[in-house]
């Protein structure tokens, strides 16, 4: 677990270097997985202040966008693992699905530190993760570049989804994509 913590710290620093304006990255932030009302139709939680164990899961890293003085919405969640098992894919895919029921514009994914290619079990079992990046053997400078590219794309996707859900915008195309490093033939 210590190696995972170190990797999260490196990624946090890189994300802090990359993000600007109203975008903020937080480690161990909790975000809601459900919003319920009591028998008098009052919210049972404060949606602006999620707490782990109170209809909220803790995330490894979460990028928030401040949209008002007291309101920050989650844009991108990144969970970190040293490797990825079938159980991890099933668990994090389920977590992503639950969070997206509350935040339909949320982008949710994983960074895997010890392997360099995505195993087939990911394609077989994933239902709700938007991205998985395997960075085994990637140098610190390249990790910074990968995170910058990833965060920019995922923040843009989140904002587009927000427009579709809440501003009644429409899209002419939807696609999932896989990126391959043409110089090495590896997926990243």
- The whole-angstrom separation of Cα 80 and Cα 11 is 10
Instruction: Give the separation between CA 165 and CA 24, rounded to whole angstroms.
Output: 23
- The pTM is what? 0.90
Residue 114 CB contacts under 8 Å (≥ 6 apart), including other chains? 3, 82, 83, 136
pLDDT digits (tens, 9 = 90+) for 4-31: 777 888 889 889 988 999 999 999 999 9
Query: Which tens digit of pLDDT belongs to each residue from 132-153?
Result: 999 998 887 888 888 999 999 9
Backbone angle region of 21, left / alpha / beta, with phi > 0 → left and psi within -120 to 50 → alpha = left
**Residue ranges per domain, the chain?**
2-187
């Amino acid at each position: 677990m210590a190696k995972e913590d170190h990797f999260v710290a490196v990624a946090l620093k890189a994300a802090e270097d990359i993000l600007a304006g109203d975008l903020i990255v937080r480690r161990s932030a909790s975000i809601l997985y459900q919003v319920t009302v009591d028998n008098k139709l009052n919210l049972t939680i404060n949606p602006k202040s999620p707490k782990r164990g109170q209809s909220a899961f803790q995330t490894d890293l979460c990028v928030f966008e401040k949209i008002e003085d007291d309101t920050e919405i989650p844009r991108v969640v990144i969970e970190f693992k040293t490797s990825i098992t079938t159980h991890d894919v099933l668990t994090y895919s389920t977590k992503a699905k639950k969070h997206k029921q509350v935040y339909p514009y949320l982008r949710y994914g994983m960074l895997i530190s010890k392997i360099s290619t995505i195993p087939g079990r990911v394609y077989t079992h994933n239902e709700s993760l938007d991205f998985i990046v395997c960075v085994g053997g990637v140098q610190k400078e390249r990790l910074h570049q990968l995170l910058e590219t990833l965060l920019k794309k995922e923040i843009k996707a989140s904002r587009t989804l927000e427009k579709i859900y809440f501003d009644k915008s429409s899209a002419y195309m939807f696609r999932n994509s896989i990126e391959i490093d043409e110089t090495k033939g590896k997926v990243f």
